[in-house]
Amino acid sequence: MAKTKSRKDTLNLPPAPITPQPITETIEKNYMPYVMTVIVSRAIPEIDGFKPSHRKLLYTMYKMGLLTGARTKSTNIVGATMKLNPHGDAAIYETMVRLTRGNGALLHPFVDSKGNFGKQYSSDMAYAASRYTEAKLDTFCNEIFGGIDKNAVEMTDNYDATMKEPVLLPTAFPNVLVSPNMGIAVGMASKICSFNLGEICDGTVALLENPEITTDDLLDIIKAPDFSGGAGIVYDREKLRRIYETGEGSFTLRARYVYDKAENCIEVLEIPYSTTIELILKKITDMIKEGSLREVIDARNEIDLHGFKLTLDLRRGTDPEKLMAKLFKKTPLQDNFACNFNILVDGTPRTMGIKEILTEWVRFRMGCVSRELTFDMEKKQEKLHLLLGLGEILLDIDKAIRIVRETEKEKDVVPNLMAGFSLDEVQAEYIAEIKLRHLNREYIVERTSEIQSLQREIDELRAILGSEKKLKKYIAKQLKKIKDKYALPRKTRLLYDDIGEYSEEEQVENYSVRLVLTRDGFFKKITHQSLRASAMRGSDEQKLKEGDKVVQEEDAENTDEILFITNKQKIYKSRVCEFEQVKTSSLGEFVPAKLEFEKDEKPIAMKALKKYEEGHNIVYIFACGKGVKIPVTSYETKGNRKKLVAAYSDASPLVTAIYESEPFDILVGTKSGKGAIINTKLLPLKTTRTSIGSTLVALKAGDEVKFALKDFENKYPDTTGLRKTKIPAQLTTLKK
C-alpha cells in the first residue's frame, strides 16, 4: 500500500525547529510549582493544626451560622464549601467525616454530627451519603474561631476572588498537637499523633512561664500521646524523649482486652489507632487457617451500638495471657505509630520537637491576640471619643438644640455644632444623629458615665499590648479556662509493666513425634501414642499413595525446626509444630504445596533440629561419585527465612543428604550394581555450601551413583570386600 503524503510533504514545508529544553529547566518551570502547591496548599498542616481543606470547611460552616444554629444537611455544607474549595463534593465530604463526633477520629471533634459517619477503627463501615446526614459546628469550635471577626488573622481572596477566607484560624490552644494529622506531599510527609488537651494546655502554660523548660520537664507534664480509640502505650521514656526532642521516632500501641472466664473468650475492647478491625481479623483468620493459631476456635466482629468489640473464642485449656502475648507479636493488635512532626511555619515545612512546636504556636498566638486586642482597643477608643464629644453638650443642652433649630440648611448642622462646642467632625456627626427624645440630661449622663470604665479598659489593653510578659499571662489564662472547660481524662493508658517478648517455644505444646517423608513428597507427623494405638490394632503400616514409598523416618519433638533438602539446590525451613498431626492411615501433608516449592521441585531428605550445633554436618552424595560435608551451622539464619538458595552444589544431581552428628559408614551403590562402604570421616569438610567435595568412588564411563545408605545392614548383610579405607575407592560387586 502506498504511503499517503501529509499536507506538509505536499507543500514541501521545512520541519518545525526542535528547541531542546534542559531537564533542570523542565523541573524548575513545570514540576516545582506543582511540588510547592502540594506541600503548602494541600498535604502538610500549618501551625494552627489544620490543612487548607479542613480550614475552608470549618470556616464555611462558621459563616453559615452553624456555630450557634441548628444542624443542616451535610449536602448544604458541602455545596457551600465549594465556594472556597474547588474540589469535588466527595473529597469535601470525606474531609468533613473525619472531623465529626460520629467518626471518632479526634479526641475533640469539631463537627457535631447526626447520622452514620462510619468509624475510624473500621475500613468497611462506610459513611452514609451527605444527603442523609446532618451536621453543625461543635461548641468546642468557639476556641478556634474566637477573634476571627476582630482581625485576629489575615484574610485572603478565595480561588476566584469573590470572597475572603482566613489564612489561618486563631486557635486559642495548640490544636496542632491535639488533633492527629497525616499527609503525604511530594518528597516529604507529615504524621502527627494527638495529645491530651489538658496536658498540652499545662505544658504550654509551663513554657509561657519558663521558656527554658527542659524536655524532661515537658515529659512529666505531657506524659505521652493520647488517642480517641484508647488502647495503651508501652511506655518507653527514651523513645518518647527522642520524639519530643526531634519530632521523629515511633512508639508501640497495644490493644486493651478482658478475659471472660465463664464464656472462655477474650473481648478486645480497644485497638491501636493506626490499624483497623478488618486488618486484625484477616491476620487472625489467616493464622487459624494455616494452623499457627490453634488456641483460637473463632474470631468475630461484635461492634454494636455500645461500641467496639472483637471476640476470640478460645480452645479449652488455653492460657489467655500467653495467647495475647502471641497475638501482640504476630498481629496488628500491637502496632507501632511512626511520628514525623512536619509542620508549615510561615509557608516553610519544618520538622520540630514538642517544645519547638509549642514555641512557634506561642509566637503565632501572640500575634493573633495582639491583633484582636488592638482591634478591641481601637473600637473602645472610637467609642470613648464619641462619648467625650457627647459630654461636651451636657454643659449646655439648650445651646445644642438651639444651634440645630436655628441652622437653615442641613449641611450646616455639623459645622455649626463643631464651632459651638469645639467638637471634631466625627463627634459632631454623632451628636447630630441623636434622636430628639434623647437630647435630655438623663440620657446624656447615663451614656457619658461609661467614659471612666472605657478609659480603664483601654489602659489595660494598652498595658497588655505593651508588655510581652502580660501578653503571655493573658494567653496562659485563656489556656487554663479551656482546660477547665473541655479537658477530658486520658483515653490511652500508659503501660509500664511489659508482658515480655513472645517465645514460640514457650507457646507451642511440646511432645515427641515420629516424622515420615515419602519419595513423592508427602510428610506425616505422628505422635508415639498414635503409633502405639495403630500397632495394637494391627494397622501400623503407613498408608501411601500408589507407587510411593517411605524414604526417611526419624523421631523428633514438636518444637523442633525442620529442614527439607530438595532436588533444586534449595533448603526450606519450617517448624514441626506447623504441620498437622495425623495418623498412619493418612497420606499426610504434601510438602511442595505447603512450603510453596517451584515446579518439579521435590524433597530428597529432611532433618529436624533443636539447634545448629558446631561439629555437626550434612553429608551430600552426588551422582558423579563425589561427596562433601557441609557444617550445619552454614544453614543457620537470624531472621525467619523460609527458603535458602544455593544450599549445595549444582554440578551433579544429588543422590542423598544425611545428617552427621558423628562419623558413620555409608554404602555408596552404583547403576552397574557395584558399591563401596566409606566412613564419612574420609569426606572433606567444606564451609562453602556450593562445594562438590572430592571423588568417593572411581566410576567407569556411563556409570553413576544411584543410592547412598546409612542403614544398609538389613538390605546388604554381606559386606565382604566393600569396606574401604581411602578415597577414591574401588568398587566391589554388591551381594544381597
Compute φ and ψ for 307, nearest 5 degrees.
Answer: 125, -160
CA 116 to chain centre: 25
Task: With beta carbons less than 8 A apart as the criterion, state whether 693 and 711 touch.
Answer: no
Of the candidates 521, 607, 602, 593, the one whose C-alpha atom is nearest the C-alpha of residue 562 is: 607
CA 331 to chain centre: 14
Task: With beta carbons less than 8 A apart as the criterion, state whether 610 and 567 touch.
Answer: no
From residue 506, give the alpha-carbon distance in Å to each of 510, 558, 575: 9, 12, 14
Of the candidates 510, 512, 595, 522, the one whose C-alpha atom is nearest the C-alpha of residue 552 is: 522
Sign of CA dihedral 556, 558, 561, 567: positive
d(CA 282, CA 642): 22
Answer whether the bond into residue 728 is a cis peptide, omega within 30°: yes
* 252-261, long-range: CB < 8 A, 24+ apart: 252/334, 252/335, 252/336, 252/337, 253/227, 253/334, 253/335, 253/336, 253/337, 253/492, 254/328, 254/333, 254/334, 254/495, 255/231, 255/328, 255/333, 255/334, 256/230, 256/231, 256/232, 256/493, 257/324, 259/320
Catalytic residue among 31, 132, 159, 511: 132
- At position 137, the amino acid (one-letter code) is L
User: What are the grid coordinates assigned to 659, written together?
Assistant: 545428617
d(CA 534, CA 542): 10
User: What are the grid coordinates assigned to 531, written together?
Assistant: 503409633
d(CA 345, CA 367): 14
Of the candidates 713, 672, 683, the one whose C-alpha atom is nearest the C-alpha of residue 621 is: 683
Classify residue 717 by burial, with Cβ atoms within 10 Å: 0-12, 13-18, 19+. exposed
Please give the full DSSP string across 586-645, using - where no structure is assigned.
Answer: S--EEHHHHTTPPTT--EEEEEEESS--TT-EEEEEETTSEEEEEEGGGG--SS---EES
Of the candidates 494, 490, 478, the one whose C-alpha atom is nearest the C-alpha of residue 174 is: 478
User: What are the grid coordinates assigned to 639, written together?
Assistant: 531472621
132 is catalytic: yes
Catalytic residues: 132
